[in-house]
């Protein structure tokens, strides 16, 4: 019963859109009405309000981190512990991708994914973040950096000797990230993906999440 309650709460927490909240706080249009139409930090940045984008990024990371961190405190470190944590992780991530409050049309999940990885294992989260930074510096493509970090996450989890349930949920999360970035992948292949620091006609594209 506790597991089910935590999964539901995690999903609802994940469904909270900080892109919508930050835009309202700063008096900006709904992020779904401009740019890519995606309720995420990168699209909020296209409004020209960097503070709103930072708040979105921090909020989306924090909700993922909080859900997993609290679950790790609640569940005993024995028995089905690894599976329970994996279910909560997946629930908060799916909440961000398919939020009940936004008719199941959410963001791409990069910031929330980083938040859950940092809560799951600090070294895992830092490895994913380092991968993003390295690829972003070399390619100047935020989306490519996110995809590289997504590829690395399950491998890092495996190399760190984390429970197989956590490796599996990292793999599933990575597959979902690739699916959510399918348009970015097409743009990369076509050579038209906006680079970090360059304008695509809607503003700057310099945040690490879409």
| Position 197 confidence tier, pLDDT thresholds 50, 70, 90 | low
Look at residue 42 and tell me whether its pLDDT is greater than 90. Answer: no
Which of 202 and 44 is assigned the larger pLDDT? 44
The whole-number pLDDT of residue 100 equals 95
Convert the pLDDT of each residue in 81-109 to its tens digit. Answer: 999 999 999 999 999 999 999 999 999 99
Is the pLDDT reported for residue 148 higher than 50?
A: yes
Residues 6+ apart with CB under 8 A from 88: 6, 7, 10, 67, 68, 71
Mean confidence (pLDDT) of the chain: 90
Termini Cα distance of the chain: 35
33 vs 208 pLDDT, higher one:
33
Q: Mind giving me the DSSP string for the chain? A: -HHHHHHHHHHHHHT--HHHHHHHHTTPPPGGGSTT---SHHHHHTTT-HHHHHHHHHHHHHHHHHHHHHHHHHS-SSTTHHHHHHHHHHHHHHHHHS-GGGTT-----HHHHHHHHHHH-HHHHHHHHHHHHHHHHHH--HHHHHHHHHHHHHHHHHHTT--HHHHHHHHHHHHHHHHHTHHHHHHHHHT-PPPTT-B-SSSB--SS--
The structure's pTM equals 0.90
Q: How confident is the model at residue 37 (pLDDT cuts 50, 70, 90)?
A: confident
Beta-carbon contacts of 197 under 8 Å, excluding residues fewer than 6 positions away, are 140, 204, 205, 206
- Sequence ranges of the domains in the chain: 2-190
Please state the rounded mean pLDDT for residues 110-136.
97
């Amino acid at each position: 019963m506790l597991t089910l309650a935590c999964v539901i709460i995690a999903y609802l927490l994940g469904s909270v859109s900080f892109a919508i909240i930050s835009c309202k706080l700063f008096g900006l249009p709904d992020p779904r009405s401009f740019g890519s139409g995606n309720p995420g930090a990168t699209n909020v940045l296209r409004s020209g309000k960097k503070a709103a984008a930072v708040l979105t990024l921090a909020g989306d990371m924090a909700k993922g981190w909080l859900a997993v961190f609290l679950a790790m405190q609640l569940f005993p470190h024995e028995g089905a512990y690894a599976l329970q944590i994996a279910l909560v992780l997946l629930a908060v991530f799916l909440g961000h991708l398919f939020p009940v409050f936004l008719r199941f049309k959410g963001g791409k999940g990069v910031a929330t994914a980083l938040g859950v990885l940092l809560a799951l294992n600090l070294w895992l989260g830092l490895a994913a973040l380092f991968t993003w930074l390295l690829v972003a510096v070399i390619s100047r493509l935020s989306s490519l950096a996110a995809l590289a970090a997504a590829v690395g996450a399950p491998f890092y989890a495996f190399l760190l000797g984390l429970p197989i349930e956590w490796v599996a949920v990292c793999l599933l999360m990575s597959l979902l990230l690739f699916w959510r970035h399918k348009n970015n992948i097409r743009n990369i292949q076509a050579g038209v993906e906006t680079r970090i620091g360059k304008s695509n006609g809607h503003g700057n594209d310099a945040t690490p999440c879409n």
